[in-house]
Structure 1
Amino acid sequence: MSELRNHTPDGPPAPIRAGREPRFPGGPVADPAGSHHERRIRSFQPRRSRVTAGQGDALQRLWPVWGLDIDGLRVLDLEEMFGGLPVVLEIGFGMGEATAQMAAADPGTGILAVDVHTPGQGNLLGLAERNGLSNIRVANGDAIILLREMLPPRSLDGLRVFFPDPWPKKRHHKRRLIQPEFLTLAAARLKPGAILHCATDWEPYAEQMLEVLSAHPDFENTQEHGGYAPRPAFRPLTRFEGQGLDKGHKVHDLLFRRPLGPA
């Protein structure tokens, strides 16, 4: 049986059987803000799947360097964290392949990538190390708490929400992330001129996104005549997106800007 190794302070590494979620000393913790903030309806569900040996190794070695738990107890200094680079927040990065590609293509922009999927966190950390991507930081936990409690006003140069959970059943629509309340919170953290970029392959969710974004006073459509935007060249075609396209799904991109305001 293959195994991961859990380092202990008083002896040799203790084996952890494959198929059970390992514990990573100094790594991401489960629900880091759960005991500090209110319980509410969430737009995500933590997924439990096997962490490979490589992902576990990346989590143990690299989390103290490039990772952070969203505990809601401090305000982040993004300028210090990214060495003065402009910073884009990415909510929900899956396994991180697209995030790593965007970071490699634009080393002058920092990416603060948020997810709750442990294998994906480990995978992205490993990709960052192998490709020398020092402009990525990986955050674990609830993006709402990150935005509300841990990011200063007007601190972000962009926000990306690619393929969020569509919550297709009508009774679950309230769980969708792109809602007026979320947009108001996001707008307060975005600099004037910053872009909010959403993408989805779920047609009803795309329609809702377009409706609430178009109606929100803190955003304006980058498309002169409204509607969806062509897929920007900088957004990589992900494996997940490719699977959707193979099934006949149509992907919609929405690019909305925080207005610059009066001069």
Structure 2
Amino acid sequence: MHNEPNPTPTDAPRPMFAAGTGPAADPAGDRHERRIRSFQPRRSRVTTAQREALLRLWPQWGLEVDGESVLDLPALFAGRPVVLEIGFGMGEATAAMAAADPDTGILAVDVHTPGQGNLLRLAEERDLTNVRVANGDAIILLREMLPPASLAGLRVYFPDPWPKKRHHKRRIIQRDFIDLAVTRLAPGALLHCATDWEPYADAMLETLTASPTLTNLSPTQTFTPRPESRPLTRFESQGLSKGHAVKDLLFRHEP
């Protein structure tokens, strides 16, 4: 998860794919409303396998976060309950969770084109029909494209901590975001966050605890051990090897 104001016409990202053949460079256009975003598009190199997966599978399993229509989640996921995952990196953990729980749909949103291609490739290789990949701004997805009380869960794993104090306003887990997110959670839905940046973990805990409809599932009302349902990611392993303390936060929506 990442941010910056809208690019100007002179520095707007160039399309990587022809229209209709892959994820758009800026699907929502001016719907970004000049607000500070919690993400920065990353334009690292797309491998041949990732590009081929995007070209082949995007029309079937990909969707653009353009803010123009409300998604029909039961149709997209064949009636499965749906969990939204915001920021999935290269998609390995997402694919593992989808394989372990085929009766739950995962709507995975990110702006990282190589990761989108890699997750689609993994989904095809493992026959994961319960995964859909969304391209764009998660705020627009939540606010304009998801019906109220439509999600069985929300996952935000290792969002950008924006460690410098002057950048804290860019963090995704803030009160305004949570106030929006809980309106899209069904009663009993689980909100699961994880971070290896302790100051951000403390800020997350404070923000989530302040929400009147979220109940902390930790017996100590603080952090929880990593649930078995959340795979150990490559990024997380790197953090642990550096001595970082990973914190999980698990809350239930109880309106």
TM-score by length of 2: 0.92
- SS at structure 1 position matched to 2:249: strand
Task: Give the corresponding residue for 1:32.
Answer: 27
Whether 1:173 aligns to 2:163 is no
Q: Which has the larger radius of gyration?
A: 1
After superposition, the C-alpha distances for 1:96-144 in whole angstroms (9 at most, x for unaligned) are: 0000000000000000000000000000000000000000000000000
- SS at structure 2 position matched to 1:93: coil
Mapped to 1, the partners of 2:189 and 2:242 lie a distance apart of 33
Question: Of the candidates 250, 253, 256, which is equivalent to residue 248 of structure 2?
Answer: 253
Task: Give the corresponding residue for 2:66.
Answer: 71
Question: Of the candidates 153, 156, 160, which is equivalent to residue 158 of structure 1?
Answer: 153
Mapped to 2, the partners of 1:218 and 1:167 lie a distance apart of 27
Q: Which amino acid aligns with 1:196?
A: L
Seen in structure 2, the aligned counterparts of structure 1 residues 96 and 104 have a Cα distance that, compared at 3 Å, is: same
Q: Which amino acid aligns with 2:189?
A: A
Q: Alpha-carbon deviation of 1:21?
A: 8.1
After superposition, the C-alpha distances for 1:197-253 in whole angstroms (9 at most, x for unaligned) are: 000000000000001111111211012330001100010001000000000001000
Task: Give the corresponding residue for 2:5.
Answer: none
Mapped to 1, the partners of 2:106 and 2:15 lie a distance apart of 27
- SS at structure 2 position matched to 1:119: helix
Q: Which amino acid aligns with 1:176?
A: R
- SS at structure 2 position matched to 1:120: helix
Task: Give the corresponding residue for 1:111.
Answer: 106
After superposition, the C-alpha distances for 1:156-181 in whole angstroms (9 at most, x for unaligned) are: 00000000000000000000000011
Mapped to 2, the partners of 1:37 and 1:51 lie a distance apart of 25
Residues 24 and 59 of structure 1 are in contact (CA less than 8 Å); yes or no, is this contact kept in structure 2? no
Unaligned regions of 5+ residues in structure 1, if any?
Answer: 1-19
Q: Which amino acid aligns with 2:54?
A: L
State, as a whole percentage, how many aligned pairs show the same letter: 72
Task: Give the corresponding residue for 1:193.
Answer: 188
Q: Which amino acid aligns with 1:194?
A: A
Task: Give the corresponding residue for 1:7.
Answer: none
Task: Give the corresponding residue for 2:81.
Answer: 86
Mapped to 1, the partners of 2:129 and 2:96 lie a distance apart of 13
Whether 1:143 aligns to 2:138 is yes
- SS at structure 2 position matched to 1:35: helix
Whether 1:242 aligns to 2:234 is no
Residues 92 and 161 of structure 1 are in contact (CA less than 8 Å); yes or no, is this contact kept in structure 2? yes
- SS at structure 1 position matched to 2:153: strand
Mapped to 2, the partners of 1:24 and 1:61 lie a distance apart of 13
Mapped to 2, the partners of 1:98 and 1:21 lie a distance apart of 28
Mapped to 2, the partners of 1:250 and 1:190 lie a distance apart of 29
Unaligned regions of 5+ residues in structure 2, if any?
Answer: 1-13
Q: Which amino acid aligns with 1:251?
A: V
TM-score by length of 1: 0.90
Residues 202 and 250 of structure 1 are in contact (CA less than 8 Å); yes or no, is this contact kept in structure 2? yes
